[in-house]
Structure 1
């Protein structure tokens, strides 16, 4: 770890320590009363909630069945806020009140009364203080939910409840305003500022905070939304989450006859094309750096706001990704360094990993991260071995701070990783060639990993090569470990079987198309894998692996080739032509 990285990590520790101390002070029985407003504000407007709602879930909530984060709790007539939560994830969803949108979707007198009753119970039981419910990230979501779902909660209510609701909301906003800086750096910090902007625009008596909140929002958008539209965390999912909040916020400015900050408009304009950049042809996002299951419905809602709707660009240099498409063959590749330490809590060690999609079917993927029980999978999912790239000596190309007394305080940030990622790309009508290298294994094993991939043959062939170059000199240092594993994780819908010679694998897609993986001079293995990026939880999958030693084999050449389906009458002709190489097919210039 460099001196600069130690300094950044130390500052992160100090900030988290201050946050914990602040929480303990605020938990003092008398102090929280200073945040109670002298009078209740009025609600001026309620922005639209773009998150998908399911009206059928309203009946479950009315019956006291609360299903969140893979856990189900039956309240049996008691308030859910009185019950011991089965997990922190379940509690976070309950206390965030995002489920109010399901009640609103049902749109009945019963669901409105149920929503008011649950909100009133929370105010009574946890409205003064609760260690988990008042965390900045949960408080952020609750403020936004209450403001967006106010028509559900406040329709036809009496003056007494209206004042009680507004006093509680005003108190929460005041608390977040004084503690927003303690939200985790990255998307959570930005969303906390967005929540304060919601409150400033939608609540009376908040106008005095307008200038300061707009400046804070503009500063954070400029810092976190990169020039190419990616998020500083390099997590594609962060773009979706931020846009779901920014688009209604933009409309809220218009409803108040105010001009939105230019930074907000610019950020939206930059992020919209990135939605198409990360999107496979089947509608799902590539699984990089903490991305899990794609909220397809919400993504479609956001894309409806995209006025340009142009073709995605090919290179995101600031985010560190490449997109290569030739006809029906699409490859997305991670060619970036780790995000800053403070924003690296979910960063994955997947440098030079790629995902491959053909004809709308994902073939090669990364493992991703599940929607629930993330902490139990996080360490495995972040490792290089969970990505379609090269693992050296069974270690990751990033180093995470996994041990120590401060893990609960700061999480598991990245403390070391590739510092140099070189990229060269050449696009022609016949082929797309990308060469990239990283030094993530240089300091520990004296190795530079170089990867070249080329899309050819009209989008029916992906040819690649992984090269292992000594960092210094022409040979690895004597006694240095040199074991490598080249991994290609397959989507669980792919049926894979080894070819008899042990050097290839036949891949059958759900539409019965056949692709062949060829390891050429190297033997290939089929091993178990797990796919975590689906909506239905972890699924069994397989991975293609090539093992070797860098001293004995400094190059690994591999190919994915599409085998076209032929009419029975033409099969004989096709078999006669098998093995003949097209004279126009370009070689991989490595």
Structure 2
């Protein structure tokens, strides 16, 4: 491995030398590639004016000005990856064409010279090559001969870097983008880059390493799943362009990956928020799926990938039943978390990912997911970004009968520290309008815990005292929303043996921060009052060792003054830190959890006996069981 790394470094160093033995560079690409995806014409108009809009920032972009200083690596990668050419093509005016050509010309003439910067990272380099060749007919086809010469020389130089990076290592999703760039070079400059046999070999290796048997990508991020499917679709179409049969493994993988992606969508057509994903655009997801395969059926069994999907009468319940992936920069600790949507309206969500480095760290924590958290301890302990407990595992059972779904899950993330096994049950009725849950901790109950249900920003919540039975009132949470397609709906959230509160939360589903609410349930039988108070913090408890002002200063420092936050409201930061001090306790019991089917009953008894045995050994027969039930039902 060390020898291969040394050889790769030598090859990358040689790329800086003049190209010798590559033959005469063609004046135009041999094959004209065309990007398949649609852009945003509004963003295209801003680009013509010299403004690059990314998330909630406006960044200067015109010849001689490529964003200024203090930009994040993510924004630098987007600027120098040239995917924004798609927005200018969508605008389609002559001014957009000329502005795009001027920007490419300026970049070629004044390209960054630091070869270890973000500009020359493998993923940025691959994006730049693919986008330059994919939009060639838009900005370059009508250009003068001198531009073509400069452009093709630069493609040649960039291509040599891509070739020097082969063979691939690390087995991350970015490798598919690199292979796509290498294949584009092989098509457009075949005399200089005779790579197709190597690419086919490397592609087969990456598919075997990265795609699980149920089509889930090993990074377990629905948005990465989408990008992998996009890259594989483009690779297949490039093989077809030259009338060459792609590797047989690619066709099978495309079917499985597309079916798995369909399973990870909500009714609004966008993606679920697990493991660092954002929603993305429904029309883009539709377009990728329609170009990838003819199959239109969602994957039903995703046990290898660690997801469970329950669909009943347009209601969708998605559950994370897997272990945090190994090869990712940030591990999201949301094992057993869930999201729930009714038709095209999301109700219960996870917080998503994005924002500053401080926010990204906070959103990776257990508290940023709709799941239980024990004594302010993450569900998975990490050491050097790897699982500290190699024995961490998640068990799950899913069964469906007459349209209704039963799910049982458990994980042992707190077993070493607290001697606790966490069990979670779900029931979704056949009509999709009754979702029930049961949260159980098998342990010596001397520690506080919370169960969080983060709400979508479009959902309103209020506390009410209602008479469920005659002369018996109960405090519940009323969820309501007004949706253009779904109309107005009201859902009742009930719970038992817990203290319930409505607290502030945040939502990064669209990569910008939105204020929202969360329902938080606290266990009633806590031994230490100060532990209770400490546990009442919202998801920002990730910053518990920092005061409010230090976090705000950190965000301002990272965002800097070189770009303007067009949607950012600093007043929202203060609101997030406010606590709701009103106590609301429900002692009424929601309807009993539906009787389990035989298979779930049998497996549950086996798992329960094993788990209880382990806990008794740890706690010297002082086992106690804490159970909280909740129900979310539509009020008609």
> TM above 0.5, one fold?
yes
C-alpha displacement at 1:106, in angstroms? Answer: 3.3
Aligned to 1:534: 510
C-alpha displacement at 1:38, in angstroms? Answer: 6.0
CA distance 1:127–1:457, shift in 2 (3 Å): closer
What secondary structure is seen at the aligned counterpart in 1 of 2:503? strand
What is the CA–CA distance in structure 1 between the aligned matches of 2:281 and 2:331, rounded to whole Å? 20
Given candidates 227, 231, 240, the residue that maps to 1:245 is 231
CA distance 1:359–1:206, shift in 2 (3 Å): same
Aligned to 1:574: none
Given candidates 200, 211, 218, the residue that maps to 1:225 is 211
Verify: 1:102 aligned to 2:87, yes or no.
yes
Given candidates 491, 515, 523, the residue that maps to 1:515 is 491
Aligned to 1:485: 450
What secondary structure is seen at the aligned counterpart in 2 of 1:133? helix
What is the CA–CA distance in structure 1 between the aligned matches of 2:218 and 2:246, rounded to whole Å? 22
CA distance 1:170–1:556, shift in 2 (3 Å): same
C-alpha displacement at 1:198, in angstroms? Answer: 2.2
C-alpha displacement at 1:110, in angstroms? Answer: 3.4
What is the CA–CA distance in structure 2 between the aligned matches of 1:115 and 1:301, rounded to whole Å? 25
Deviates more, 1:391-400 or 1:140-149: 391-400
What is the CA–CA distance in structure 2 between the aligned matches of 1:306 and 1:83, rounded to whole Å? 38
CA distance 1:61–1:328, shift in 2 (3 Å): closer
Given candidates 107, 117, 136, the residue that maps to 1:122 is 107
* 1:367-419 deviation digits (Å, cap 9, x = unpaired): 1113xx353421111101011111011121123457xxxxxxxxx56555772
**RMSD (Å) for aligned C-alpha atoms:** 2.9
Deviates more, 1:444-453 or 1:504-513: 504-513
Structure-to-structure mapping, 1:578-589, within 5 angstroms? none
Given candidates 429, 435, 439, the residue that maps to 2:408 is 435
Structure-to-structure mapping, 1:271-350, within 5 angstroms? 271-305=257-291, 308-340=294-326, 343-350=327-334
CA distance 1:229–1:185, shift in 2 (3 Å): same
C-alpha displacement at 1:60, in angstroms? Answer: 2.8
What is the CA–CA distance in structure 1 between the aligned matches of 2:419 and 2:127, rounded to whole Å? 46
Verify: 1:54 aligned to 2:40, yes or no.
yes
Query: Could you tell me whether the CA contact under 8 Å between 2:218 and 2:305 is conserved in 1?
Result: yes
Aligned to 2:16: 32
* 1:147-195 deviation digits (Å, cap 9, x = unpaired): 1111123313333322221121121111122125677641112322222
Aligned to 1:255: 241
What secondary structure is seen at the aligned counterpart in 2 of 1:251? helix
Given candidates 343, 351, 355, the residue that maps to 2:339 is 355
CA distance 1:431–1:344, shift in 2 (3 Å): same
What is the CA–CA distance in structure 1 between the aligned matches of 2:118 and 2:299, rounded to whole Å? 42
Given candidates 351, 362, 367, the residue that maps to 1:385 is 367
What is the CA–CA distance in structure 2 between the aligned matches of 1:82 and 1:463, rounded to whole Å? 50
What is the CA–CA distance in structure 2 between the aligned matches of 1:201 and 1:414, rounded to whole Å? 43
Structure 1 unaligned runs (5+)?
1-10, 403-411, 471-475, 565-590
How many residues are matched?
Answer: 524
What secondary structure is seen at the aligned counterpart in 1 of 2:103? helix
Query: Could you tell me whether the CA contact under 8 Å between 2:230 and 2:292 is conserved in 1?
Result: no
What secondary structure is seen at the aligned counterpart in 2 of 1:165? helix
What is the CA–CA distance in structure 2 between the aligned matches of 1:82 and 1:492, rounded to whole Å? 32
Aligned to 2:613: none
Aligned to 1:573: none
Verify: 1:547 aligned to 2:531, yes or no.
no
Aligned to 2:392: 419
Aligned to 1:496: 461
C-alpha displacement at 1:553, in angstroms? Answer: 5.9
What TM-score, normalized to structure 1? 0.82
CA distance 1:38–1:127, shift in 2 (3 Å): farther
What secondary structure is seen at the aligned counterpart in 2 of 1:422? strand
C-alpha displacement at 1:197, in angstroms? Answer: 2.1
CA distance 1:182–1:129, shift in 2 (3 Å): farther
Structure-to-structure mapping, 1:190-205, within 5 angstroms? 190-205=176-191
Query: Could you tell me whether the CA contact under 8 Å between 1:450 and 1:466 is conserved in 2?
Result: yes
What is the CA–CA distance in structure 2 between the aligned matches of 1:307 and 1:190, rounded to whole Å? 18
Query: Could you tell me whether the CA contact under 8 Å between 1:277 and 1:323 is conserved in 2?
Result: yes
CA distance 1:553–1:490, shift in 2 (3 Å): farther
* 1:221-279 deviation digits (Å, cap 9, x = unpaired): 22112111111100011121122222222121111011111122122111111222011
Query: Could you tell me whether the CA contact under 8 Å between 1:503 and 1:523 is conserved in 2?
Result: no
Structure-to-structure mapping, 1:169-208, within 5 angstroms? 169-179=155-165, 185-206=171-192, 208=194
Aligned to 1:524: 500
Report 1 or 2 for greater relative contact order, CA contacts < 8 Å, sequence distance ≥ 6: 2
What secondary structure is seen at the aligned counterpart in 1 of 2:16? helix
What secondary structure is seen at the aligned counterpart in 1 of 2:488? coil
What is the CA–CA distance in structure 2 between the aligned matches of 1:305 and 1:364, rounded to whole Å? 31
What secondary structure is seen at the aligned counterpart in 1 of 2:438? strand
* 1:7-27 deviation digits (Å, cap 9, x = unpaired): xxxx9xx99x979x959x96x
Structure 2 unaligned runs (5+)?
466-472, 527-622
Deviates more, 1:100-109 or 1:230-239: 100-109
C-alpha displacement at 1:499, in angstroms? Answer: 2.5
What is the CA–CA distance in structure 2 between the aligned matches of 1:71 and 1:315, rounded to whole Å? 40
What TM-score, normalized to structure 2? 0.76
Deviates more, 1:538-547 or 1:42-51: 42-51
What is the CA–CA distance in structure 2 between the aligned matches of 1:186 and 1:141, rounded to whole Å? 15
What is the CA–CA distance in structure 2 between the aligned matches of 1:90 and 1:216, rounded to whole Å? 29
What is the CA–CA distance in structure 2 between the aligned matches of 1:325 and 1:256, rounded to whole Å? 41
What is the CA–CA distance in structure 1 between the aligned matches of 2:125 and 2:15, rounded to whole Å? 18
Query: Could you tell me whether the CA contact under 8 Å between 1:35 and 1:175 is conserved in 2?
Result: no
What is the CA–CA distance in structure 2 between the aligned matches of 1:184 and 1:119, rounded to whole Å? 31
What is the CA–CA distance in structure 2 between the aligned matches of 1:159 and 1:304, rounded to whole Å? 38
What secondary structure is seen at the aligned counterpart in 1 of 2:273? coil
Query: Could you tell me whether the CA contact under 8 Å between 1:508 and 1:515 is conserved in 2?
Result: yes
Query: Could you tell me whether the CA contact under 8 Å between 1:98 and 1:142 is conserved in 2?
Result: yes
Aligned to 1:111: 96
What is the CA–CA distance in structure 1 between the aligned matches of 2:161 and 2:442, rounded to whole Å? 54
CA distance 1:216–1:80, shift in 2 (3 Å): same
CA distance 1:425–1:377, shift in 2 (3 Å): same
Aligned to 2:438: 465
